[in-house]
Amino acid sequence: MIKHVGTLLIDTERLHLRRYTMDDAQDMFDNWVNDAQVTRYLQWLPHGDIQITRNILDSWVKSYEKPTTYNWAIELKENTQVIGSIAVVQMSEDYEWFEVGYCLSRKHYNKGIMTEALKAIIRFSFLDVGVNRVQAFHHVGNSASGKVMLKSGMKYEGCLRQYIVNNQGVFVDCDFYGIVKSDWGRN
């Protein structure tokens, strides 16, 4: 049974996963939301203007009033810079699953940061919230994201053809991954 607790602070070896504040707008804009390379496989376009970032951030900060909101800023402990985002983007109360999405500054690719964050969110989802399943998907062209999911303990479950519309308005295939609570910890 799911017990919603909202976006709580999660510390890992190198990261603080924490709630966003309005002060995070500049880091977000500078580090990933305005980078066309980061957003090329996503469903939203680079922001282009920091006001777009501020508007989205304002809605995110307000959403923390609901205990069903799970949206973390990824902050480096070493310099308190916000370098990415990880969130529960969909959930099922009836079937007790979370779907996770994430984004990271290109400067921090290939350092294990997103794997560290995703492992922490999977652990939190199973132990603190009580979901039975955590799942995620990526555009088939973004194989690096699939590697993050595998390194986090998820299993590849198949390709969903023309599953989403990307930020160019084109239907794209997506690879799907998941982990269930009974398998977690055995990896």
Per-residue model confidence as pLDDT tens digits over 15-38: 999 999 999 999 999 998 988 788
Give the residue among 4, 148, 24 at the shortest CA–CA distance from 74: 24
Residue 185, in any domain of the structure: no
State yes or no: pLDDT of 187 exceeds 60.
no
- pLDDT tens figures, 66-121: 999 999 999 999 999 999 999 999 999 999 999 999 999 999 999 999 999 999 99
pTM of the model: 0.94
Q: Residue range 62-68: average pLDDT? A: 97
Range of the structural domain that residue 27 is part of: 10-134
* Residue 178 included in any domain: no
Q: Residues 162, 164, 168, 169: what is their CA dihedral angle, to the nearest 10 degrees? A: 80
Q: What is the C-alpha to C-alpha distance for residues 104 and 147, in angstroms, rounded to an integer?
A: 14
Q: In what order do the strands lie in the sheet with 155-165?
A: 10-11, 15-18, 71-76, 82-92, 97-104, 133-139, 171-180, 155-165
Does residue 164 belong to any structural domain of this protein?
no
Q: Supply the pLDDT for residue 38.
A: 81
In three-state secondary structure terms, 20 is coil
pLDDT over threshold 70, residue 155: yes
Radius of gyration of the chain (CA): 16
Identity (one letter) of the amino acid at 53? T
- What are the two backbone dihedrals, phi and then psi, of residue 108, each rounded to the nearest 5 degrees? -115, 15
Domain-located, residue 107: yes
Task: Give the pLDDT of residue 132.
Answer: 97
Contact present, 53 and 39 (Cβ < 8 Å): no
74 in helix, strand or coil? strand
Is the predicted pLDDT of residue 166 greater than 60, yes or no? yes
In a domain, residue 53? The reply is yes
* pLDDT at res. 186: 64
Percent helix, strand and coil across the chain, each rounded to 5?
A: 30, 30, 35
Number of domains in the chain: 1
Tell me if 91 is assigned to some domain. yes
Q: Which two tokens stand for residue 45?
A: 């376009």
Residue 37 within a domain: yes
The rounded mean pLDDT for the chain is: 94
Task: Find the CATH number of the domain harbouring 44.
Answer: 3.40.630.30
Check residues 54 and 36 and name the one with the higher pLDDT.
Answer: 54
Does residue 12 surpass a pLDDT of 60? Answer: yes
Instruction: Report the pLDDT averaged over residues 157-183.
Output: 92
Return the exposure string of 156-180: e unless at least 16 CB atoms fall within 10 Å of the residue's CB, then b: eeeeeeeeeebeeeeebebbbbbbb
In this prediction, residues 121-125 reach a mean pLDDT of 98
User: What's the pLDDT band for 1 if we cut at 50, 70, 90?
Assistant: confident
